[in-house]
Amino acid sequence: MSSPRKHQLILQDAKSALSIRQFLDHLPQQSGVYLMFSARGQVCYVGKARDLSKRIRSYFRAPAALSAKERALVHAVSRIECLVTATEVEALILEAGLIKHHRPRYNICLKDDKSYPYIRVTNERFPRIRKTRTLLRDGSRYYGPFPSVRDMRALLQAASRIFYARSCNETLPFPAHRRECLDYHIGRCLAPCTRRITARDYAAMIEQAEELLAGNAEPLAARLEEEMRACSTALDFERAALLRDQIRSIKRVAAAQHVVADKEQDLDAVALAIQPPLSLAVVLEIRGGRLIGRKAHRLTFVADTPPPTVMAAFLQQYYLNSGHDLAPTLLLNTPLPKDTPLLQAIATASGRKVKILHPRRGEKKRLIEMAEAQGRRLLHEHSIIQPADSVTRALRDLAAILALDAPPSRIEAFDISHVQGTHVVAGMVVFCDGTPERSEYRRFKIRGNYGNNDFASMREAVFRRYSRVVRDHLEAPSLILIDGGKGQLSAAVDALRSASANELPVFAIAKELEQIFRPGDPKPIPISPASPGHLLLRRIRDEVHRYSVTYHRSLRGRSSLESQLDQIPGVGIKRRQKLLVRFGSAAAIEAAGFAAVAEVPGIGAALARRILLHLSGNEHEV
């Protein structure tokens, strides 16, 4: 793809007809992408056009001829940049990358793209198979994203254990004096560290693990069965037994995947489900006729946008410049706009021919109906959890109270928790469209030794969060809420400035009088305590306080247990760690009982009795 040529066009005064005329006369009559900037320099819209001149001119017609979204956009824009491309397909691919990078307010954007975990196969001589939430361009291979962390962990564990992927962080191979770790002795690793397996054989097993991750369980099992029979014929029974165990495990994984198609076909079924203010895109991944994944992506809802446009925007962001696995056939419940270059752009990006179908009957129609049913169920669950009208009313009221440009679709809130400056932690909760998004919650163990200085702790937590948002291009919040008063708010503002994220709106809610403060204003914002917006803020404040206190208590309880275990003769660092991993708290150890404690490796009956007596306060009986 050729490099796009850049044209910067500045609209100095949108109220002057002369300036608009001069501005429009400089537009290139070529295909490309245009970026619209607000007065603060933020990208508020990214669009592509076959003819940039015609497309941008269309925004400056009479207001009555524009949609509500276009009128708001024209009112907000102060500068436009154009990137001229050779073809419309190149413009479409470039537009997808720019939307993903800038996440403009007036575009239809995937909101959950960064929240789901992936499985990463590292680019090393002896690769590892790991969970990650960050996609790096380092040559690693990624599988996912997985909407269910439980499903991801089950598949990750299966792939790692069936094919003996190493779990250590060591640089391999070891020097001659180093020994194998415990994983080798319990049969979970083949010790590439000490050259007990060659790099070539290890790489072959990792390739088989990747086939399992890609959903090709049955063809993989069939090939391994042939290899097992060949090993048995050659009297290599040790290798044959290893293959037999792998085949059994692979078949168990395959049995957990549902057969949804009669033929062994690879396709994605994509269905839109729209119920303002929420809209979802559900993707069913079918490989070899088996359903291997269900993914639901929440979209920003743009009023009056026709479903074909929403579908095209989703496919563009989901499959272009995203690294998602692309099936050769896509089934859609909504037809795409006519004359769209999306099909050619997807084929160009994937390097192979892709069919996009809108089935009306038969088996493919049944798959689309399955995806639609999944979307309806998710929308129904959302409406039960929080009625849409009350949420919308609260968000609009909050936008009016805080003088925001629009109701905040994503709110991130912070709180600090500690006891006399010990075990200092911060909690962050996320509310999307007024409802908690628990998969996005984050915890921070404060690294600095600040003691009782909540301001410094808040500064560290906010800086760490938004440095990463800026660095990794994560979704930025529409509103940041700080649990505390003017001091915590000032610390958060300072951290945002240091993280180059000072354009994000931030407010604080004081604990005692529940007053709302904005940066630079010593007086609280006038607000009715019973207003929907204030009630929502208090709900978010209570949730982040609960979340941070829970984390603090877990660390404090763990530290207390460590201290108690350190006082027991015979319990060293390794045994203490095993008890912490297995039980987590003193209460859990006592509740588990003698037999469960004695079963922990390295404990035994005598030490288990001593531990339980000590924790119960009867250590004098030992």
Q: What is the mean pLDDT of residues 53-74?
A: 81
**Cα 353 from chain centroid (whole Å):** 29
Identify the pLDDT of residue 187: 82
Q: Which one-letter DSSP state was computed for residue 438?
A: G
Q: Which helix (H) or strand (E) holds 69?
A: helix 68-76
Closest CA relative to residue 33, chosen from 75, 58, 59, 4: 4
Give 554-597 as a DSSP string.
Answer: HHHHHHHHHHHHHTSTT--HHHHHHHHHHT-SHHHHHHHHHHHH
Between the CA atoms of 94, 310, 352 and 96, what dihedral angle is there, to the nearest 10 degrees?
10
* Mean pLDDT for all residues in the chain: 79
Question: CA-CA distance, 206 to 202, in Å (whole number)?
Answer: 6
Q: What is the mean pLDDT of residues 128-142?
A: 82
CATH of domain 567-621: 1.10.150
Give residue-wise pLDDT tens across range 302-325. 556 788 888 888 888 888 765 566
- At 598 the three-state DSSP class reads helix
**Second-level CATH architecture of 267-385:** 2-Layer Sandwich (3.30)
Q: What is the mean pLDDT of residues 468-495?
A: 90
Instruction: Supply the angle between the helices 307-319 and 88-102 in degrees, to the nearest 10.
Output: 80
Give residue-wise pLDDT tens across range 386-427. 445 577 788 888 888 898 888 898 999 999 988 776 778 899
**Second-level CATH architecture of 392-553:** 2-Layer Sandwich (3.30)
Closest CA relative to residue 528, chosen from 225, 442, 536, 58: 536
- At 467 the three-state DSSP class reads helix
**Second-level CATH architecture of 5-102:** 3-Layer(aba) Sandwich (3.40)
Domain ranges of the chain: 5-102, 118-214, 267-385, 392-553, 567-621
Give residue-wise pLDDT tens across range 211-248. 877 777 777 888 888 888 888 888 888 878 878 887 87
Give 61-105 as a DSSP string.
Answer: S-GGGS-HHHHHHHHH--EEEEEE-SSHHHHHHHHHHHHHHH--T
pTM above 0.95, yes or no: no
Q: What is the mean pLDDT of residues 270-280?
A: 80
Cβ atoms of 328 and 354 closer than 8 Å? yes
Question: CA-CA distance, 611 to 619, in Å (whole number)?
Answer: 8
Question: CA-CA distance, 508 to 99, in Å (whole number)?
Answer: 30
Identify the pLDDT of residue 14: 41
Domains 5-102 and 392-553 share a fold: no
Question: CA-CA distance, 399 to 408, in Å (whole number)?
Answer: 7
Of 74 and 616, the structure prediction assigns the larger pLDDT to 74
CB atoms within 10 A of CB 318: 20
Cβ atoms of 428 and 444 closer than 8 Å? yes
